[in-house]
Structure 1
Amino acid sequence: MSLDLASPPLRPGSRPTTTGREIPHDQLDQFSPPGIRAALVREAEALPGVFTGPSQVSEPSSLALRLHRPTGPWEAYLHPSTDEFGHVHRAGFMHLTVPRPLLDPLVRAGWAEPHPIVLRHEWPDTIIMLYAPRDEGELDLATAVLHASWRHAAPSGQSA
């Protein structure tokens, strides 16, 4: 399925409840079923040059998405890490960096919200919470956003 992330479909239903401007920034309901989260993790682990492990910037139970050879711009990473471009939380939502042209469309269509850390000038404004995919269709969109985030952080592609 080819998705245009510059004009994504509207996310069905209401937005999940989140902690909003609080840090830690958590999604509080509408979690991913275990099989959907597992499929999302498999997609992330299959990306060239990606390795996973405990996050350097989030709770240890979140799965960091890191690059062996990060080559993207400063705003492609979750600082202070220099190679973590996202992480998957146990509930299935992700914190990711995304290219700026995708920020507003994803938020307007109900798929994401800005991370509150972006209110601080020393952090990139490209960090979002992508809500947990609840079914296969939402997994397709989450996977497309994951791939866009990876391409932003590893613009030349990578190999392990």
Structure 2
Amino acid sequence: MEIDLATPPRRSGPRPTTTGREIPHDQLDGFSPAEIRAALVEYAQALPNVFTGPSQVSEPSSLALRLRDPRGPWEAFLHPSRDEFGHIHRSGFLHLTLPRAVIPPLTEAGWIEPHPISRRPEWPDTIVMLYAPRDESELDLVIAALHASWQQAADLTPPPHEIGSET
């Protein structure tokens, strides 16, 4: 299924409850079922040049998504790491960087919220919490967003009119 992140579907139901704090910035309800999280992790681990392990910037139980050959711009990474572009938490939500063009539509449609740390000037304003997918259709959108994050970090970002469209 092709997902256009510039015009995403509205996420059903209310936004999940989050801590709203810099640390920890956690999602508190609306978690992923185990099989949905497992499918998300499987997709992430299959991305070219991605390796996984404990996060360098989050709790050790979150699964870092790191690039062997990071080429993207400064705003494509979760600092102070130079190669971690996102991580998946045990309950299925992600912290990751996204191309700026897709942040407003994904926020409006109820899929993401800015990470509070991104208000600081020394952190990219591209860091977001992507809410945990609760079913297969939500997983499709989350995978499209993860793909856009990976493209940005690998410096494979397509032109703005193609961002978020998986082909």
Q: Secondary structure at the match of 1:58?
A: coil
RMSD of Structure 2 on Structure 1 (CA): 0.9
Q: Which runs of 5+ in 1 are unaligned?
A: none
Q: Within 1, Cα distance between the matches of 2:24 and 2:112?
A: 16
Give 2:109's aligned residue.
109
Listed as ranges, the gaps of 5+ residues in structure 2 are 158-167
Residue aligning to 2:78 = 78
Would the aligned equivalents of 2:73 and 2:155 in 1 still touch at CA under 8 Å?
no
Written as runs of structure 1 = structure 2, the 5 A alignment for 1:1-150 is 1-150=1-150
Q: Which amino acid aligns with 1:73?
A: P
Tell me the distance in 1 between the aligned counterparts of 2:119 and 2:100. 15
- Measured against aligned partners, the alpha-carbon deviations of 1:58-106 in whole angstroms (never above 9, x if no partner) come to 0000000000000000000000000000000000000000000011111
CA contact (8 A) 2:22 2:115 kept: no
Q: How many equivalent residue pairs?
A: 157
Aligned equivalents of 1:21, 1:114: Cα separation in 2: 11
Shift, 1:22, TM fit? 4.0
Query: C-alpha offsets along residues 5-54 of structure 1, whole Å, 9 cap, x if unaligned?
Result: 01100000000000013421000000000000000000000000000000
CA distance in 1, matches of 2:95, 2:115: 8
Return closer, same or farther for 1:31/1:77 CA change in 2, 3 Å cut-off.
Answer: same
